[in-house]
Structure 1
Amino acid sequence: MARTVVVTQSNYLPWRGWFDMLRQADALVLLDSVQYTRRDWRNRNRIRTAQGPQWLTVPVEVKGRYLQAVDETRIAGPGWAAEHLRAIALAYRRAAHFEAEFPWIERALTAVAAEPMLTAVNEALIRATMARLGIERPVLRDGALLPRDALPGMDPSERLAALAEAAGASRYLSGPAAKAYLDPAPFARRGIDVAWMDYAGYPEYPQLWDGFEPAVSVVDLILNTGDAAPALLGRPFSTSSP
């Protein structure tokens, strides 16, 4: 049987498309040995408020650490988790499923509030969200599959293909943005097909306030739709090669 693997950097409370991609895979590999990128999704995401989208950002140490990897990035200062919980509660207290869903979000964030490393925070919250959405998949770390010290220096496409192979993949599933740079040759040499996510046509769901904002954390979906959230994650992926 085909085994689909996703290899990606960890994100902070990702949007529903990220979990849709994971739902359609058989395993997730967290690629956190690569360079941490500022103003990206590693340590922040957005929620919807009455004033518009609002960033929730985990403060991290970056001064003098321009080449640090995601799994080397330390959280700067306490109190961020409590601030995020206050922001979520303020924004969603009138959401249809706030009373039922906020407690598990509160437990998940409180559990990682004292964690010093960003990668551990992200993984713990990803696992908690997977459990809430009924997504049962192994979550693997890149350094558990290949030597951690060798990973940063590898060609990016070769690294992805090697990690997918080490995770037993016959198919590699990627976000569509990677079409601009992914080299299919390392996958082809290993007999691994490449498939692409297509985020077009995702169904809207009831949100607070007028209009619809798709580019927000999955907590928006869950607090607004509750048990219906898994059915609203997205749509099937395309199996066409790049």
Structure 2
Amino acid sequence: MRVGIIQSCYLPWRGYFDFIASVDLFLIFDEVQLPNRHDWRIRNAIKTPKGRRWLTVPIARTGPPQRICDTPILTDRPWIADHLALLEEAYASAPHYDRYIEPYRAILRKGHGLLSALNRELTLWLMDELAITTPIESSEPWGEPGRKTARLLSILRAVGATRYLSGPAAADYLDLEAFRASGIGLEYKTYDYAPYPQLWGAFAPAVTVLDLLFNLGSEARHHLRSRQPDTVVLPPAPAFADALARRSS
């Protein structure tokens, strides 16, 4: 079983959904500390007539350590109206804007108190629109406490993974020898996508998947997969994979 583990993101780009579609089980890793800077957990980019603009969810900084799953959304800011206004400015003339803006608006207006809850509901909605059926769970209940690679391997063993799909940035900190000793295979996701028709000039790849949906509608699901295969760093140990297969049969 191929498993992926990533933090939740606000309105992720298409590579995030390609990642989810590439695994048999996707775990949301929001038990980790929120970065001390703006990043994809709380914001994403859109393409507008004035260039790239950011949609940012305002959050309360409660002081370190602050886990992503515990991060509250500030309710005294008009951020929902701001996001809707920016999207209308950028995409009202897109072919499929009307189809997707209302479900998005309805989710925002539920008034989620926590960032993780908002990100997860938006991700599940977008997966449904993209015909992605990969099961999603939180990583928190699985495995034993630990740091970095030890924690990941504990989770992977607990869910019965034979292969772990990681984002390529993790190459800087994952312990290859620990993976080799575990018998669990290690692979890095490759992100290489063809352009698609967009509004407002030259193609911009690093924007929210809403851009893809607004422009292509149901055809968006056919523009998700990377053109290059993922990189296999360590194949699963045959004896380990066979043992798991026997245990699950």
TM-score (norm 2): 0.87
Q: How does 1:15-34 map to 2 (within 5 A)?
A: 15-34=13-32
Q: Which amino acid aligns with 1:234?
A: R
2:50 is the counterpart of 1:51: yes
Question: 2:208 & 2:48 partners in 1: Cα distance?
Answer: 12
Name the aligned partner's letter for residue 195 of structure 1. Answer: E
Deviation at 1:103, TM superposition (A): 2.3
Point out where structure 1 has 5 or more consecutive residues left out of the alignment: none
Q: Distance in 2 between matches of 1:66 and 1:53?
A: 31
Alpha-carbon distance between aligned partners in 2 of 1:24 and 1:237, rounded to the nearest angstrom = 11
**Cα deviation, residue 16, structure 1:** 0.3
Cα separation, 1, equivalents of 2:173 and 2:161: 20
CA contact (8 A) 2:2 2:161 kept: yes
Q: CA deviation at 1:162?
A: 1.6
- Paired residue for 1:233, among 201, 224, 231? 224
Counterpart CA distance in 2 for 1:109 and 1:75 is: 12
Residue of structure 2 equivalent to 1:108:
107
CA distance in 2, matches of 1:164, 1:229: 31
Task: Work out the CA distance in 2 between the residues paired with 1:11 and 1:216.
Answer: 13
Structure 2 partner of 1:204: 195
CA distance in 1, matches of 2:143, 2:152: 11
Which amino acid is the alignment partner of residue 231 of structure 1?
H
Preserved contact between residue 15 and residue 215 of structure 1 (Cα < 8 Å): yes
Determine the structure 2 residue equivalent to 1:39.
38
Q: Tell me if the contact between 1:46 and 1:217 (Cα under 8 Å) persists in the aligned partners.
A: yes
Runs of 4+ in 1 over 3 A off after TM superposition: none
Q: Specify which of 111, 115, 119 is matched with residue 116 of structure 2.
A: 119
Shift of 1:206: 0.5
Residue matched to 1:85: 84
Q: Output the CA distance in 2 between the equivalents of 1:237 and 1:29.
A: 22
Higher relative contact order (Cα pairs below 8 Å, separated by 6+ residues): 1
- Work out whether 1:72 is the aligned partner of 2:70: yes
Give the share of equivalent positions with the same residue, in percent: 38
* Structure 2 CA distance for aligned equivalents of residues 187 and 110 of structure 1: 43
CA distance in 2, matches of 1:110, 1:76: 14
Secondary structure of residue in 1 paired with 2:170: helix
Q: Kindly provide the CA deviation profile for residues 154-207 of structure 1, in whole angstroms up to 9, marking residues without a partner as x.
A: 22011112212222211100111111221123333332111111113x110011
- Alpha-carbon distance, 1:239 to partner: 4.2
**CA offset at residue 40 of structure 1?**
1.1
> How many Å apart are 1:42 and its aligned residue?
0.7
Q: Separation in 1 of the partners of 2:159 and 2:120?
A: 18
What letter is aligned with 2:49?
A
Paired positions, count? 231
Q: Which has the larger radius of gyration?
A: 2
Q: TM-score, normalised by structure 1?
A: 0.90
User: 2-side partners of 1:109 and 1:132: how far apart?
Assistant: 17
What's the CA shift for 1:107? 2.5
Residues 143-154 of structure 1 aligned to structure 2 (within 5 Å): 143-146=140-143, 150=145, 154=146
C-alpha separation in 1, matches of 2:214 and 2:104: 10
